[in-house]
Amino acid sequence: MNIPKLTERFEAALVYAHQLHRHQTRKIHCIPYIAHLLSVTALVLEDGGNEDEAIAALLHDAVEDQGGTATRAEIKQRFGETVVAIVDGCTESDTLPKPPWRDRKQRYLDQLRQGSPSVRRVALADKLHNARSFLQDYRQQGENLWSVFTAGKEGLLWFYQSLLELYHPNNSSPMVAELKRVVEELEELVKPD
């Protein structure tokens, strides 16, 4: 197996990601946002991702959450065209206010269908980590959790099922099987009695 080499570029991206997101937390529990970025990066590397994909995993939310087109230009200048193309492919929206949730998610799914293997790997790692976090939060908070999420129960389950339909037929990544397991467990927990 070819082990990806992580160079000073990765180290610089790690520092840059921390600088960009240092005041940001996850919606639940106020966990520093960098924890999500590190988890996504670990999933990408464990799936065989290369350094550009790992850097893009660290920066996958930077344009959307931390500066829009100016941040995009900075990523391109610092880390190159390949990394910024992956980040672009993982960005749902770079405008404020963000478009309505359902429209934004549908455009994102359409974007992923056309995405490169690198975009699809980073996006899958992101959504897997989000699904794992959501499942854990639901176990702890139950139905109260829906008040924090715009989409509600039906919207969230629609989105994850749509992701599985997009990835499952043609992807052998273990992340797909894990996402399927997490989504099935979440569906079982949230279904009405």
Active site includes 103?
A: no
Nearest-CA neighbor of 175 among 44, 35, 36?
Answer: 44
Best CA proximity match to 152, nearest among 112, 116, 102, 115: 102
Active site residue 64: yes
- Active-site residue (options: 47, 65, 92, 94): 65
Q: Which of 61, 64, 88, 126 is catalytic?
A: 64
Beta bridge partners, 28, equal: none
Cα 133 to the center of its chain, rounded Å: 12
* Sign of the torsion formed by the C-alpha atoms of 12, 18, 21 and 27: positive
**Where in the sequence numbering do the catalytic residues fall?**
64-65
